[in-house]
Structure 1
Amino acid sequence: MEFDAVLLPGRRAESIANGYWHDRTINDYLQDCVEQHPDKLALTAISLDANGTRRFTYRELTQMTDRIAVGLSRLGVGKGDVVAMQLPNWWQFSLLYLACSRIGAVLNPLMHIFRERELKFMVNHAEAKVLVVPKTFRGFDYEGMAMNLRPELPSVQHVVVVGSKARHGFDALLSGPEWENEPDAAAILTQHRPGADDVTQILYTSGTTGEPKGVQHSANTLVSNIVAYAERMHLGADDVVLMASPMAHQTGFLYGLVMPIVLQAHVVLQDIWEAKRAIEIINAEKVSFTMASTPFLTDLTRTVIETGQSVPSLKTFVCAGAPIPGPLVEQARNGLGTKIISAWGMTENGAVTTTCPEDDDVLSVTTDGRALPGVQVKVVDFDGKDMPVGEVGQLLVRCCSNFGGYLKRPHLNATDADGWFETGDMASVNKDGYIRISGRSKDVIIRGGENIPVFEIESLLYKHPAVAQVAIVSYADERLGERACAVAVLNEGTRFDMDTMVQFLREQRVAPQYMPERLVIVASMPATPSGKVQKFRLRDMLRDGLI
């Protein structure tokens, strides 16, 4: 696979000179861990789906990493090959990334909510050589979906199934045989390790073009974000990190997989979010830090208050993905006794801004934080001129953790010659440098931290014979921040209701989480003189109960 991370070379000299790029890969950090703390608990994976727990010390983690790496090599995976993986927060997720890094392969994490349509596009676009899926998770047959889709995935040479006892099972191919003791194992594990500027991760993000974009990251871009983030949060080797946010999102990947190893800390994975179990886990494992979107914080706070259980070890909860309601911060501070940090970031950059542990709580309600070290932000008008303090404009970011470019789509990189990346978000900056996201110029709805690809769903709905015109817009939701509503104009003499829409989208193999949760039929759309639908007016009409 040829990668086109064209944004990396031009930033190297400055990033190294400023100390933001460390020229170390996850292999180097794992080596430090096993040399300095071989018997320290590194990873605890708690599966509510399978009702089981698996623990690894750093010695055991390293041994299993080597085993899986040689197993991947036996499947023909080598340097520059892509391994696509659609797993929840299981130990196999973390170990697969570490194993890929041993042999120079690139991991492509895929959200477990994806179904045939998303899976087919992403796996083919990344030209994945191996696809790893669960046998089942939360009652869904991932093995069946992958096997049925296999003829449409020409690059995939092997489908590996976690939980299967068959010959294509994860245990049989990767984690069972003691591959690390084979005569050629040492050469396999050392000869093709990646450099810090090599692409190590491809993560797809939904946008407005109708197709996801493959974000390319290197060890230097990922680690530069983690170091600055951990320093601001005052995190170290003694912390215990809980990650219940999906690790196939950048939040989970960066701060639940890579960061604990960089810090030589202990991470606890939870595969299904249940607040009551999270409280038990936090107390049993002495969790001190977690990061997730607003619904996680809402659920945890309400459950603590309702049950009377406390979480005294939990010092910090970083909340990102949607604004945090003021009452929630107060409830969480009082109910959890935890510092609530507001953060904003993107797949392309990791966390860009955060409030600080020393800040007044009001800043977590009124702002999305200030830039991390190595990060610059500015707000400009549509002509690129700086906006005055406090006024809303387009948010641009220039940072050490900026991605290397979109796979096979460098024309969409949205980064100018000076390194400024157009985020697609609208924001303002106050006199102290704290930003506030005020909206999105890109047409994406964020539902509970999950981006909904509006353009793609609209395009599918236009295929239905009853639909003459459709627009998907957000409406406010206390728990999830936003939900999606489809507003449609119908062709004369046709009928179209919520059940019809859901059934049609299911037939198009759309993930359930991407489906609109409301349908409103209107006689006509509010539009500009040129005919462009005015979505802001639709949002206002929904808010005011006019439609």
Structure 2
Amino acid sequence: MHAGALNVISSPAFSAEEAARYHAAGWWSEATLSDAVRRNSEDAPGRPAYIDHPSGHPGDHHGRVLTWREFDCAADALAAQLAGAGVQRHDRVAVWHGDCGAIHVLFVAIERCAAVVVGIGARAGTREAGSIMQSTQPKLLISDQQRRDPASSVAAQLQVPLLIMTDADGEAPRLNVDAKPMPVIGGSQLGPDDVFLINSTSGTTGLPKCVVHTQNRWHYFHQKAVANGLLTPHDIILPVIPMPFGFGIWTSHTTPIYLGATAVLLRRFTAAAACEAIERHRVTVLCCVSTQLTMLMADNASRTHDLSSLRVVFTGGEALPYRPAAEFEELTGATILQFYGSNETGLLSATTLADPRERRLRTAGRVVAEMSVRLFDGDRDVTDTGQGQPACRGPATSLGYLGGADHDKLFTQDGWMRMGDICQIDADGYLSVTGRTSDFILRGGKNISAAQVEDAASTHPAIAVAAAVAMPDAVFGEKVCLYAELVGGQTIDLPGLTKYLLGLGVSKELLPERLVVVDELPRSSGGKVAKGQLREDIRARMEAEDEHS
């Protein structure tokens, strides 16, 4: 099936009646991101659209500024190059590229060809990138110079043409394609209810699954962000979550484009670089996961730089430490807003500028009215009890997984999309996360599948059985700890395992950060590894180490 043929009407996530209601209510738009770029080019041609903050590398002292007029023209030029290379309606184009203004231009150029972006994370390894491309079957792979070698390897293995996008300072981004550019036929562009993006998420088993997105689900999310944070086109936004993941999509792509605001991009997040960017560009809106905000609050750079321009901080992913968050608000004058959701579901709950600090910093906000939420215990509806596994229906949800993968796990029997957490909803409608149902490690706001870690580590010839669990961490919340039974007579250490996994092309996010070798893993009566005992064991080990340090 072509990606573009999987539209909102045929998706199990929405009925035709629901889609019509979302449009009638104004939650979904008739315009596209490409339309918004055209409008911004006409209304504010000289306003900066994207600013690439200097990385500090040689030859990168000033950073690149791309105005809305330049963005629009560059997207047209790239679209013509793609059309000349044979990209047609419904084709899938894989993008494996670092975060900068050029990647946003490329996304819009692909949209203008009525094609679908297959987003691969900048830090993905060849194994993950190959799996995503195997699932999505793209016509082309587009990468940058930094990823040329691994991209060449994956493209050759899957027999997919590779194009490199160059983005030299002072020049518009362009592709290294020999074919003559062709004009894109008017009227053939994507609509807001068509599939425009397929990205990856951590699967419960094996390699990542692919999530299918329309623009309108993110248009809805964008409207909630504007309303909750009182955003305007004159805001300067610093989104430090990279494309093409859910948080990065709305904070660095959809909201800046729909709003016509300016986004400042970092090649790589550090607390010092973020503080420098806030001061230099007078950033008013910061978007980051909770771990990144915790790192900012703990770093002396937040006290040596002028952060007084900050007005709003959007964050999510995990609970914030209350006292440092309150101190950060006092230091900067900014208001921290939390929300709760996922790449699959969009937001379920959110805080607003009108919420008191206790609610903003200690909960994930009120359940969003349009995103109907029920609570489940297995398949039993326990909404009345106020605690259970959330499932939702509404205008922010994705279309689910490509090819209907894990449909029965993602959706309830009557079509509500599940989250992988246990939550409480109080009498005032405020939601708090109290536990997790899935075997994930939540590191810095990113879900890391324990099964993926185990699947990769178990290929090492010295490892007989592997079990990955979360170990507590003061900065990242959780880190990856791997327990392993070894093949008789074999030995292994963490540096050796890390080198082996990197050699396989495993993503850096999946690398174990601690290795515990045991004679035998504990097992339940059913023969499964007793991960609860392993979690208790790693906590006990760390507490003992703290006592002796």
Q: Give the TM-score normalised by the residue count of structure 2.
A: 0.90
Shift of 1:293: 1.3
Is residue 337 of structure 1 aligned with residue 333 of structure 2? yes
Aligned to 1:14: 21
Q: Is the 8 A contact 1:42 1:56 kept in 2?
A: yes
The C-alpha deviation readout for 1:262-308, integer Å capped at 9, x for no partner, is 11211111111132232232122221112111232123223356643
Q: Give the 4+ runs in structure 1 shifted more than 6 A.
A: none
Shift of 1:387: 4.2
State the one-letter code of the partner of 2:284: S
Q: Is the 8 A contact 1:424 1:441 kept in 2?
A: yes
Shift of 1:394: 1.2
Is residue 26 of structure 1 aligned with residue 33 of structure 2? yes
SS at match of 2:308: coil
SS at match of 1:544: helix
Shift of 1:521: 2.1
Aligned to 1:171: 174
Change (3 A) 1:272 1:418: same
Aligned match for 2:258, one of 262, 275, 283? 262
Q: Is the 8 A contact 1:324 1:364 kept in 2?
A: no
Q: Is the 8 A contact 2:78 2:174 kept in 1?
A: no
State the alpha-carbon separation in 1 of the partners of residues 397 and 54 from structure 2: 33
State the alpha-carbon separation in 1 of the partners of residues 29 and 187 from structure 2: 21
Aligned to 1:539: 535
Change (3 A) 1:212 1:339: same
Is residue 322 of structure 1 aligned with residue 318 of structure 2? yes
Change (3 A) 1:86 1:409: same
Show the 5 A alignment for 1:210-249.
210-249=206-245
Aligned to 1:146: 151
Change (3 A) 1:9 1:323: closer
Change (3 A) 1:495 1:152: same
Change (3 A) 1:60 1:340: same
Show the 5 A alignment for 1:449-464.
449-464=445-460
User: In percent, how many aligned pairs have the same letter?
Assistant: 27
Q: Gaps (5+ residues) in structure 1?
A: 137-141
Aligned residues: 530
Aligned match for 1:90, one of 100, 113, 120? 100
Is residue 512 of structure 1 aligned with residue 508 of structure 2? yes
Q: Is the 8 A contact 1:143 1:161 kept in 2?
A: no
SS at match of 2:541: coil
Shift of 1:200: 0.4
SS at match of 2:419: strand
Change (3 A) 1:77 1:119: same
State the one-letter code of the partner of 2:221: N
Shift of 1:389: 4.5
State the alpha-carbon separation in 1 of the partners of residues 210 and 487 from structure 2: 37
Shift of 1:396: 1.0
State the alpha-carbon separation in 1 of the partners of residues 301 and 46 from structure 2: 37
State the alpha-carbon separation in 1 of the partners of residues 358 and 14 from structure 2: 40
Shift of 1:483: 0.1
What CA RMSD, in Å, does the superposition of the two structures yield over aligned residues? 2.5
SS at match of 2:380: coil
Aligned to 2:401: 406
Shift of 1:255: 1.4
Shift of 1:66: 0.8
State the alpha-carbon separation in 2 of the partners of residues 35 and 506 from structure 1: 47
Aligned match for 2:496, one of 477, 491, 500? 500
Q: Which segment is superposed worse, 484-493 or 73-82? A: 484-493
Change (3 A) 1:416 1:331: same
Aligned to 2:80: 70
State the one-letter code of the partner of 1:541: D
Q: Is the 8 A contact 2:163 2:176 kept in 1?
A: no
SS at match of 2:142: strand
Shift of 1:497: 2.3
The C-alpha deviation readout for 1:186-231, integer Å capped at 9, x for no partner, is xx15231112211001111011121211111112222112112221
Show the 5 A alignment for 1:37-436.
37-48=44-55, 49=57, 51=60, 52-136=62-146, 142-154=147-159, 156-162=160-166, 171=174, 173=176, 185=183, 188-303=184-299, 307-391=303-387, 393-412=388-407, 414-416=410-412, 418-436=414-432
Change (3 A) 1:199 1:445: same
State the alpha-carbon separation in 1 of the partners of residues 155 and 35 from structure 2: 36
The C-alpha deviation readout for 1:336-386, integer Å capped at 9, x for no partner, is 322122222211133332222222222244322223352122222123222
Q: Give the TM-score normalised by the residue count of structure 1.
A: 0.90
Shift of 1:533: 2.0
